[in-house]
Structure 1
Amino acid sequence: MSRTLYLDCISGISGDMLLAALFDLGADLQYVKSELEKLPVDEFDLWVDTVDKLGITAKKLGMRLPEVGEHEHSHGDGHTHSHTHEDGLLHGHSHAHEHRRAAMILEMIRESELPERVKARSGAVFDAIAVAEGKIHGIDPAEVHFHEVGAMDSILDIIGACLAMENLGVDEIHASPVPTGYGKVKMAHGLYPVPAPATAELLKGIPLAKSPAEGELTTPTGAGVLRALATRFGPLENFTVDAIGYGAGTKNFPEHPNVLRAMLGQAVGSECRETIHVLEAQVDDCTAETCGYVMERLFENGALDVYYTSVQMKKNRPGTLVSVLCASVDVSRLEEILLRETTTFGVRQSIWTRRALAREFETVETPYGSVRVKIGSLNGRVLQETPEYEDVARVARENGVPFREVYRAALHENKKTSLSQESR
């Protein structure tokens, strides 16, 4: 059964608070450190301390970086220090420190020997942050720069958190609405409002909560994790909790514990209702080639489904209704694609809920190669088993065999595996 991580952002979220909370949940610190040490990065040390936050015992991340000596993170709580601040990590301007372009960090992740899911997750977070910063600074996301200390902070926080999630067997991430904090924060270029520009960009489409304290509660790294990895936002419900961890920020608020609470458990599939956004636009002067291209662009940018329906429009013109299903975090980006790439003058949006089967993936070995199978369950009973199209198509091409033959083989192997597990 799949394991879900629920991030209860009662005091916002930052990269170091998340990693500390995952260690408190039971992630193996030595495993995370040993995997990070395989990367082509500077020497570092990573540890956790136990602290008290208004009566809650929590873990706090400590980090030693070579250029600046020992320091501890202070993100997610409005506090800044002389060495690094997450809102100043990414920019298009020169700094005294050596720079690492976002493209270089993404390439390092792709070429590493990290587990595949860690590569995918950490790459998605870095990419989301680079896109947000690139938009703010008016530069290509690939050219966004991390100054050296900031790059190390982000690499350790982001890849470390993804390694910790892998160590805990996390399959899906859900989160509560997010408080950003309020007031102003000092950054490299001056005083900026909270949430900082990059954080605000990353949180578009994500439900925000009332902020319990002044200062910066959610940082770009924390917001990037939510944007790239969280699949559902809302209150804690229909969830069986197996373990709880607390990750601490540095600042102490008088009446509010400055912690991120992370819960590991099972989302109850039988009662699972997801919020889904439906975008629609009708066009009567769009070519078939344009429609085909637009569909590709929408899927590339996170659409869950896209379909076209023939409709009769005003002045007796045959037209096309474009329908896009997506998550809340992708609404703005997909609306912009429809407005820029089609001839429509507007896009309608409606919000629906859907009841979904609990979904997980199993990899089966067929005579032709590995194929992932998507499994849908209701109350623990498997109702749907569907081999992934891309895997089946790839294996069929590589072996010169019919698509349907690989498809049948994947289903057969999956049923054998299921029967074997039931008999144990």
Structure 2
Amino acid sequence: MIQSSDLPDRVKKRSLSIFQFIAEAEGKIHGMDPADVHFHEVGAMDSILDVIGVCLALESLDASTIIVSPVPTGTGKLRMAHGLYPIPAPATAELLRGVPLSEFTAKGELTTPTGAGIVKALASAFGPLPAGTIDRIGYGAGTKNFEHPNVVRAVLYEQEQEKTCYETIVVLEAQVDDSTGETLGFAMEKLFEVGALDVYHTPVYMKKNRPGVLVTVLCHPASSAICEETMLAETSTFGVRRSEWKRRALARQWVQVETPFGLVRVKQALEGETIMRQSPEYEDAAQAARSFGVPLETVYREVYKQLND
């Protein structure tokens, strides 16, 4: 339904990612293949509208980085189709694996499986906002009455463009000699889905002269737990090494370039006000090339032509 719709590509991708996370969680809880989980099991039509509505709103705002505060779940019991369960509900708890939880407590359910799926799929990081300037603020009020305000706040802000910045990244490593190429390729896809900054494979020789692969994952500290879990689940490794590194990075920003093949996003690296380098977004350029039946390099050349004019 979503794939065949006229929704923007990024809205489709984000929406399908959310439902994939929810289906995997529901499938695990019910002991069934995620592909066999139907929409009535992951939520009624209102959940579908919630997911697509959130993704459309983010697309309208052109929000590329989404930072979420630690998630409150609530406390107490929740009556479901299968009986009385503790909060968070089983599917919610499964979805929130690796997600920082808030110490804030209140009686009742504060996070549903749909909400947990949205956070799991879309959050770039968890924690306070980095340095920047607030542009707009929005509030959404729920209908249930608590002793605290039942409100969600969204802040649209521009991150400060510093000359350079130093940040902490986590490096995760595991060596495997009994995973297939297909398995490692799939693991790489899953790692990017849960927030990895980069994933690469290095050929190595292991004990008993066995050729193997060193799987290396770079991620933000907030995403490290879920990346570790993904490595353990999707590869044959029995453990994951973890280290923290400081890295220096140029400030980055996104701009949109109008071409004969449509809009293409371009990532720019800045040092102060100087653009040090810029690179077209591959997914945008590839989609344009497919839509117009032209080589990818033709789209790239047109993007750079517009940038240099």
Q: CA deviation at 1:406?
A: 5.4
Structure 1 position 242 matched with structure 2 position 135: yes
Counterpart residue number, 2:151 = 259
- Identify if the C-alpha distance between structure 1 residues 307 and 169 changes in structure 2 by more than 3 Å, giving closer, same or farther: closer
Q: CA deviation at 1:296?
A: 1.6
Counterpart residue number, 1:375 = 268
Q: Give SS of 1:172's match.
A: coil
Counterpart residue number, 2:182 = 293
User: Structure 2 CA distance, aligned partners of 1:131 and 1:319?
Assistant: 29
User: Structure 1 CA distance, aligned partners of 2:42 and 2:199?
Assistant: 42
Structure 1 position 168 matched with structure 2 position 57: no
- Identify if the C-alpha distance between structure 1 residues 122 and 411 changes in structure 2 by more than 3 Å, giving closer, same or farther: same
Deviations 1:339-383 (A, max 9, x none): 2xxxx43222334565543242534426x8875433233445432
Deviations 1:16-44 (A, max 9, x none): xxxxxxxxxxxxxxxxxxxxxxxxxxxxx
Q: CA deviation at 1:405?
A: 6.2
Structure 1 position 124 matched with structure 2 position 21: no
Counterpart residue number, 2:231 = 334
Counting only pairs closer than 5 Å after superposition, residues 278-317 of structure 1 correspond to structure 2 as: 278-283=171-176, 285-286=177-178, 290=180, 292-303=181-192, 304-311=197-204, 313=206
The AA in structure 2 aligned to 1:331 is: E
Q: Decide whether the 8 Å contact of 1:299 with 1:305 is kept in 2.
A: no
Identity %: 56
Counterpart residue number, 1:209 = 102
- If the length of structure 2 is used for normalisation, what is the TM-score? 0.80
User: Structure 2 CA distance, aligned partners of 1:286 and 1:324?
Assistant: 19
2:259 is aligned, of 362, 365, 371, to 365
Give the stretch that moved more between structures: 295-304 or 173-182. Answer: 295-304
The AA in structure 2 aligned to 1:141 is: P
Structure 1 position 195 matched with structure 2 position 92: no
- Note the residue ranges of structure 1 that are not aligned, 5 or more in a row: 1-107, 417-424
The AA in structure 2 aligned to 1:201 is: E
Q: CA deviation at 1:264?
A: 1.1
User: Structure 1 CA distance, aligned partners of 2:258 and 2:116?
Assistant: 35
Counting only pairs closer than 5 Å after superposition, residues 219-234 of structure 1 correspond to structure 2 as: 219-234=112-127
Q: CA deviation at 1:217?
A: 1.2
Q: Give SS of 2:133's match.
A: strand
Q: CA deviation at 1:275?
A: 5.7
Q: Decide whether the 8 Å contact of 1:277 with 1:331 is kept in 2.
A: no
Structure 1 position 178 matched with structure 2 position 68: no
Q: Give SS of 2:235's match.
A: helix
Structure 1 position 147 matched with structure 2 position 44: no
- Note the residue ranges of structure 2 that are not aligned, 5 or more in a row: none
- Identify if the C-alpha distance between structure 1 residues 392 and 242 changes in structure 2 by more than 3 Å, giving closer, same or farther: closer
